[in-house]
Amino acid sequence: MDERKSLIGEYNFVAEPFCSDFTGHMSLSTLGNMLLNVAEFHASDRGFGIITINQGAHTWVLSRLAMEFDEMPRQTEPFTIQTWVENVYKLFTARNFAIVNKDNTPIGYARSVWAMIDLESRKPVDLLSVYSGGISEYVCDRDCPIDGPGKVKVVSTEPVREVSMLFSDIDINGHVNSIRYIDHILDLFPLDLYKEKRIKRFEIAYVNESYYGDTLAFYLDEKGEGEFHIEVKKKDSGEVICRSKVIFI
């Protein structure tokens, strides 16, 4: 048996007709949700799912996510998401994904970085020692041929949009759902841009949590043809919540 193969989780999906954007392709936030769900399935099967580690008063926190696509699955098309752990460090673990079409051709990849925190103290947990260091057993050396998340620096001082966080933004932990930020960021761009171009790469780094009732201010820099850098701050305090880079081609 190929040991590496057993380290890679493989999950089959169909791009659902009512989860498509107006181009008929699966929406990026739907795919982002699937990646997080698949990460949880894979971790859960190996004893490190959220529900298991919650019992140890720990939880997973998504720190960074980068996704890059040659194409997005079209509605009704079957596709597969593969996922594996690339690395386990003291404070972070890197998990990668491949999105593979029905002809077994990769159409996209994603990289994610996670921390485990203590539910009480909100402090990071040492991943090399927690659960007897068992997470490290699942590291797999498969290649993920996209860049890791890069540095995002936004200089704009006037927000392009302000949005209040409401019921539909809030997840089970009481803070704004990681994927909802993606929707709000994609909503900064006019529909015409999506008609002319498609998103080649999307990355996001989560810096601080935001909560129900927070008003978030979105700052946007255009960094050249089709590349945008976004910073999201709490309107009141100016605290940075997340930073993102979107590349259209």
Between 2 and 236, CB nearer to its own copies: 236
- 55 binds its own copies, rule: CB under 8 A: no
Is the torsion defined by CA of 244, 197, 95, 176 positive or negative? positive
**CB 227 within 8 Å of CB 212:** no
Closest residue by Cα to residue 245 from 162, 161, 150: 150
- Among 10-18, 82-90, 127-135, 143-151, the segment contacting its own copies (CB under 8 A): 10-18
- Among 89-97, 125-133, 176-184, 233-241, the segment contacting its own copies (CB under 8 A): 176-184
Closest residue by Cα to residue 149 from 104, 207, 82, 101: 207
Contacts of 76 (CB under 8 A, 6+ apart): 14, 15, 17
End-to-end CA separation in angstroms for the chain: 41
In the stretch 121-150, what mask flags binding to its own copies with x, by CB under 8 A?
A: ------------------------------
State which of residues 16, 70, 71, 126 lies at the interface with its own copies (CB under 8 A).
16
Dig out the tokens for 156 from the structure. Answer: 């704009």
**CB 144 within 8 Å of CB 86:** yes
Q: How many CA atoms lie within 13 A of 137 on its CB side?
A: 12
Between 40 and 136, CB nearer to its own copies: 40
Between 27 and 96, CB nearer to its own copies: 27
- 152 binds its own copies, rule: CB under 8 A: no
Contacts of 162 (CB under 8 A, 6+ apart): 215, 216, 217, 218, 235
In the stretch 81-120, what mask flags binding to its own copies with x, by CB under 8 A?
A: ----------------------------------------
- 167 binds its own copies, rule: CB under 8 A: yes
In the stretch 19-48, what mask flags binding to its own copies with x, by CB under 8 A?
A: xxxxxx--x-x---x--xx--x--------
- 222 binds its own copies, rule: CB under 8 A: no
CB of 177 to its own copies, least distance (A): 8
Beta strand pairing status for 78-88 and 58-69? Answer: unpaired
CB of 13 to its own copies, least distance (A): 11
Contacts of 124 (CB under 8 A, 6+ apart): 91, 115, 116, 117, 118
Binding site for its own copies (CB under 8 A): 16-24, 27, 29, 33, 36-37, 40, 50-51, 75-76, 166-168, 170-174, 177, 179, 183-184, 186-187, 189-191, 194, 212-213
